[in-house]
Amino acid sequence: MILLGLNIDHCATLRQARYRSAALTVGGAVEPDPVTFALLAERAGADGITVHLREDRRHIQERDVWRLRESIATRLNLEMSCTPAMTRFALKLRPDSVCLVPENRAEITTEGGLDVISHRRRVAKCVDAMTAAGIATSLFIDPEPAQIQLSAELGAPWIELHTGAYAEAYFIARKRAKEFTRLREGATRACGLGLIVNAGHGINYVNIAELRTLPRLHELNIGHSIVSRAIFTGLEEAVREMKTKMNP
Ligand code: PXP
């Protein structure tokens, strides 16, 4: 059974498009509310809720994260950059897990995997601090053997394989096959090293048919496609449909 972590950032994107400056003052008029969204998603079968508190606060706000921490019944996964300020925030918040991601101010969404090799000391410090606090750390990495190996050496219990390159190559047969092989070999290598393997980025209702066959998948983190589908079908149907496709 593959679990679904629902990334609700884009519910907040929609809210911020209208209420950027009013977010803290207008109360119930500010919609759509990411916390209500998360609670509905849980009711429909989401196994966890993921949010990315970005440095520029372009979608999820700190207040959302604290409200989620108090309200949701499943698991809260906080995506964050590997900085001292975010580490301090996570230690106060105490999410169930954190996922360390690279963050570049100009990017539209997370573009590449975290380079654990270049940022070894920073990542190690953050993983150690989270482990000491009882918070599981996931490292969002490209399916590169050296990145996987070092992630295991640093003691992170989980990795999240970046599926973005595969998703982008989906309609280019040879490239897609190559990216899928990288993911499959990466997942197998990671399991062999004792890592729990999650995956995410660019997963949709079409490419899930192949991605779900990756070996030993624990959880998929999916955001944009489910939030987009929810506009047409409603959130509960969008979540149910994805879960059925993940575990037919
Ligand atoms: N996993 C990680 C680490 C991400 O940064 C994102 C995007 O915020 C996702 C999963 C979800 O990607 P998508 O919105 O394309 O489903």
Nearest to 51 by CA among 115, 2, 10, 8: 8
**Tokens representing residue 212 in the block:** 């779900």
Buried b (16+ CB within 10 A) or exposed e, 157-184: bbbbbbbbbbbebbeeeeebeebbebbe
pLDDT of residue 73: 97
Counting Cβ atoms within 10 Å, is residue 70 exposed (0-12), middle (13-18) or buried (19+)? exposed
> Is a pLDDT exceeding 90 seen at residue 29?
no
Number of H helices, E strands in the chain: 11, 8
CB 58 near ligand 1, within 6 Å: no
Q: What is the dihedral of CA 238, 240, 246, 248, to 10 degrees?
A: -130
Reply yes or no on whether the pLDDT at 21 is more than 80.
Answer: no
Please determine, for residue 95, whether its predicted confidence score (pLDDT) is greater than 60.
Answer: yes
pLDDT digits (tens, 9 = 90+) for 45-69: 999 999 999 998 889 999 999 999 9
Amino acid letter at 175? K
User: For ligand 1, is residue 147 a contact (CB within 6 Å)?
Assistant: no
Q: Is the CB of 110 under 6 A from ligand 1?
A: yes
Which is the catalytic residue, given 10, 59, 79, 103?
A: 79
Q: Determine which one of 10, 52, 59, 218 is catalytic.
A: 52
Which residues lie across from 3 on neighbouring strands?
A: 219
Band the pLDDT of 22: cuts 50, 70, 90: low
